[in-house]
């Protein structure tokens, strides 16, 4: 069987390599990632992971893997930091608070059956000064990222508490991903 990664994220490729998996094909899925009215963050993350997996054409004997990482404060789904202004607002919101990094993964096996899993990681940042936020925005590391930060970079120094999947916060929960790939015949048990 061959594995198709429905993501162009270099972080997801790197995370897969940690468990000895190299995709045979990489395809960027194109879907509308807008939350539905009153959609809860967990439901949203799972829906996006499955929609991304289904958006990629699966050939004979291919297994598709897709993921989504959503940052949530309570019931609020935080947008990706598409601009520096949005990133500043996100970091101010996360400063000194706990939030959830919801990392969903979907695998569609060679027979077409979709399975999903979700890792819910609680992350708490220290209180951030305006100077820390400005320096982080200026470095460019968190631009385009869920929540406006990259935990695998400079923002890791702000984490005073983390409970759950560190790899999930980066972009792909390896425990859940490995289990799904094993059930699809890509990995041995």
Nearby residues of 120 by Cβ (< 8 Å), 6 or more positions away: 42, 100, 101, 102, 164
DSSP letter (8 states) at residue 16: H
| Residues pairing with 125 in the sheet | 159
Closest CA to 3 of 52, 68, 62: 62
Distance separating alpha carbons of residues 122 and 22, to the nearest angstrom: 29
Which ranges of the chain does DSSP label H, i.e. alpha helix?
A: 10-18, 41-54, 84-94, 130-139, 166-170, 174-183
Active-site residue flag, 120? no
Structural tokens at position 188: 């041995």
Residue 52 dihedral angles phi and psi, to the nearest 5°: -65, -45
Quote the Cα angle for 101-104-108, to 5°: 170
Catalytic site residue from 24, 32, 68, 109: 68
Which residues are identified as catalytic?
Answer: 68
């Amino acid at each position: 069987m061959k594995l198709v990664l429905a993501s162009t994220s270099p972080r997801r490729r790197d995370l897969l390599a940690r468990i000895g998996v190299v995709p045979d094909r990489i395809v960027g899925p194109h879907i509308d990632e807008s939350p539905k009215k009153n959609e809860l963050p967990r439901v949203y993350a799972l829906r996006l992971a499955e929609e991304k997996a289904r958006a990629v054409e699966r050939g004979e004997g291919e297994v598709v893997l897709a993921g989504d990482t959503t940052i949530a404060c309570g019931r609020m789904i935080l947008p990706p930091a598409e601009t520096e202004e949005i990133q500043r607002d996100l970091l101010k919101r996360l400063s000194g608070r706990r939030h959830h990094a919801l990392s969903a993964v979907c695998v569609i096996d060679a027979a077409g059956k979709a399975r999903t899993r979700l890792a819910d990681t609680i992350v708490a940042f220290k209180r951030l000064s305006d100077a820390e936020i400005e320096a982080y925005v200026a470095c460019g590391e968190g631009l385009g990222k869920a929540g406006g930060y990259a935990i695998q970079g400079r923002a890791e120094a702000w984490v005073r508490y983390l409970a759950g999947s560190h790899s999930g916060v980066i972009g792909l929960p390896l425990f859940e991903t490995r289990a799904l790939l094993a059930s699809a015949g890509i990995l041995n048990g």
